[in-house]
Amino acid sequence: MPHTYEYPRAALTVDCVVFGFDEAELKVLLIQRGLAPFKGKWALPGGFVRVDETLDEAARRELAEETGLQNVFLEQLYTFGSVDRDPRERVVSVAYYSLVKLAEHPAAGASDASDAGWFPVATPPKLAFDHADILETAVQRLRGKVRYEPIGFELLPAKFTLSQLQHLYEAVLQGELDKRNFRKKFLATGLLVPLKEQLRTGANRPAQLFKFDTKKYQALKKRGFSFDI
């Protein structure tokens, strides 16, 4: 059933940059395109926005369809509207970025996409369309955001050690951090709850496990809370 308009219209899509962290480096979830254009190339998960769904809904739907991910942190990033970013026709894409706990989502492929996989953000494969630009924009946004909002917890398991948290920050911010200062500052926020468990990882002293105090953070945020790592 065709649809007709007085003026030509751009197609509208959403694309999602899904970040994960694997204890050592920051990764991004890509899918291999099953259809032309760029068939066989790696790309960000995404697809067309339906007229009866919001942009957020479209992003969540595509994420679920193409990667199986649900109930994840998802936030609008930027809208990309170069005239020639899609070789077929004019396509404007609203990009989102998402943070997921990598351990819980090893790399499930799904229907639309022939395959999916995690790639290092630092050395991604060649990407379809302008997805390299989108990825770069998302990385910059993540770097900015992680400094004043504790979104890093979305990337870690529910129980984590201070070393894991520090390694995450070092991966995102690309630099070494002083262990004592890092722990001091983070513990001072009062957002880390020490658990009665420890994590044994081999021939060394076991590490204290913590969880993130989400409720306390929500309360602090409402009062206008500043955070700076």
* Segments in 174-213 forming alpha helices (H): 179-188
Cα gap 217→215, rounded to integer Å: 5
Which residue, 22 or 53, has its beta carbon nearer to its own copies?
53
Cα gap 159→34, rounded to integer Å: 37
- When CB distances are held under 5 to 8 angstroms depending on the partner's kind, the choice from DNA, its own copies, none that residue 203 binds is DNA
Which residue, 83 or 203, has its beta carbon nearer to its own copies?
83
Amino acid at 179: K
Q: Among 205, 166, 193, which Cα is nearest to 182's?
A: 166
Which backbone phi and psi does 223 adopt, to 5 degrees? -75, 5
Which residue, 106 or 175, has its beta carbon nearer to DNA?
175
Residue 115: CB minimum distance to DNA, A = 33
Which residue, 23 or 136, has its beta carbon nearer to DNA?
23
Question: Where in 64-103 is the site for DNA (CB under 7 A)?
Answer: none
Beta-carbon-side half-sphere exposure of residue 33 (alpha carbons within 13 Å):
17
Q: Which stretch binds DNA (CB under 7 A): 19-27, 110-118, 151-159, 176-184?
A: 176-184
- Contact residues for its own copies (CB under 8 A)? 2-12, 48-56, 76, 78-79, 81-83, 90, 92, 94
